[in-house]
Structure 1
Amino acid sequence: MVKYAANEKFPKLYFPFVSYAKAMKADPNGGDTFRKKFTEEFAKDFKSKPESDRTMGAMYFFDPKIVKELAKQKDEFVEKLTLKKSDSISFKDAGSLLSFELAKQFTEKTLEIGQPIVKGYIPEYSQPFITGSLWASVTKPKEVNDFPDLTKDYKLLFELTDFNWKSDKETAYKNENYFLVETTRILNLHAGSGIPTDRNKPVYVLHSYAMDILMNNDNYKKKYKVDNPNLALIKQLQSKGAKFVVCGQSMTWQGWKLSDFTEDVKEAFSAKTALTSYQKQGYILHKIDAQRQ
């Protein structure tokens, strides 16, 4: 029997690993005995957990979409380590790499047999306004009784200042910008709540490092050696009425011209004056940056 020290605090989210460890002890080769043992132990353990733990455990380990995304994150993490070109690895990075590998081994052996047990606990996703990344998706709550006013316009002002997380600078340029994707999740939340999509009125104000997101493909390719992965999403947003505004002060200091960006980008005197102006017009500010996520 797998036991833990009395003072050991096992992370709640990772409770399926306990069943996995017991099954591996019974059958290290991962055969029929493993499958039988895991099914028995996990079904019993899952049933004993509170609803919140069941939902989180089901989603994180047995939702194929999440599993696929985590596999992608592992590949990107390995690429980042490779790009560092170092003959050593930090303790933190080594721990992350081992966690990714353990998660991979776990899902390879348990995804199929665990899904029937967690059935009904994996949330259903939708993208009612902007489509694309999994992280733009929203779920449908079960007991909503506080509703928005569907007769009003929802003026959303997004301020973007960052291009990447500090820990993700090596590979961020190859993927859709996380902060831009987060704004699409916010838009989908509004649409999912019942607000008509034509009443969503998004304006984006970008300054500092975030302006690279808007580069036209030629300029992006010159700087990063790959096509701009954000352009399709930006075009989709513009087709849904989104307006993109860049900071004139940043433009001047960095030597930008509007022709350096994708089409239909506006230049304000400064980001700060644009933010003030739109808020005076009733727009609600959502500041999306690395410090506030």
Structure 2
Amino acid sequence: MTTSNIALAGAEQFAAGSVIKNYGKHAKVQQDLNFDKSALFKVAFDVSEQGKVGEVNRKIETLARFINMHVANGVPAENIHLALVVHGKAGFDLLKASLYQEKFKKTNANSALLQDLMKNQVQVYLCGQSAAYYDIEHELLEPGVKMALSAMTAHAVLNSKGYSLNPF
């Protein structure tokens, strides 16, 4: 076995993707789990932890990595349908840039990432119960972010539409 086709340890092995260029670096790996490259991927991601203030929330960036690495491995971008369900303090990462700046005195590094994700068929939902608890009104959110009754409801609805839940 040669090492040219396997992932080597180290951040330098991770490269930007062709779809979401500024986020979602991934490594080339020798894989043993084959998948149908023409399959439709419908996956929901759950994020409850707020990222470090002023930095990209790495859990949100995971969606960019999912898109980039699958497209790099032959899956058409139009076959990738992702949903981001946000609850808890992570809701603050969905604030409009100006409001985030006002609240935290730092730039919302998630704003551009969220816009890139939504331009690539990602649906972003904020738990309405968390929003009510943290006083985050719909008009405070990045354009395109949708409000759900709850994170539980969003996951139930997405599951009924064939979305699997990413376990991490």
Question: What band does the TM-score fall into relative to the shorter chain?
Answer: 0.7 to 0.9
Contact 1:177 1:213 in 2 (8 A): yes
Of the two, which has the highest radius of gyration? 1
Higher strand share: 2
Query: Following the alignment from structure 2 to structure 1, what is the Cα–Cα distance between the partners of residues 17 and 158?
Result: 27
Are 2:64 and 1:176 equivalent residues in the alignment? no
Task: Calculate percent identity across the aligned residue pairs.
Answer: 23
Runs of 4+ more than 6 Å apart: none
Are 2:40 and 1:153 equivalent residues in the alignment? yes
Where does structure 2 lack aligned partners over 5 or more consecutive residues? none
1:175-254 equivalences under 5 Å are: 175-254=55-134
Query: Following the alignment from structure 1 to structure 2, what is the Cα–Cα distance between the partners of residues 199 and 272?
Result: 25
Letter in 2 for 1:125: A
Contact 2:63 2:117 in 1 (8 A): no
Partner residue in 2 for 1:163: 50
Q: Which is bigger in relative contact order (C-alpha 8 A, separation at least 6)?
A: 2
Query: Following the alignment from structure 1 to structure 2, what is the Cα–Cα distance between the partners of residues 124 and 258?
Result: 36
Contact 1:148 1:195 in 2 (8 A): no
CA deviation string 1:210-263 (max 9, x = no partner): 111110012101111122111111111111111111111112222221101110
Question: What TM-score does the superposition give when structure 2 sets the normalisation length?
Answer: 0.86
**Alignment length (residue pairs):** 162
Please report the RMSD computed on the Cα atoms of aligned residues, expressed in angstroms.
Answer: 2.0
Partner residue in 1 for 2:17: 127
Question: What TM-score does the superposition give when structure 1 sets the normalisation length?
Answer: 0.51
Query: Following the alignment from structure 2 to structure 1, what is the Cα–Cα distance between the partners of residues 57 and 40?
Result: 27
The partner residue of 2:26 within 138, 144, 147 is 138
Where does structure 1 lack aligned partners over 5 or more consecutive residues? 1-50, 61-65, 67-122, 165-171, 289-293
Contact 1:156 1:202 in 2 (8 A): yes
Query: Following the alignment from structure 1 to structure 2, what is the Cα–Cα distance between the partners of residues 252 and 174?
Result: 23
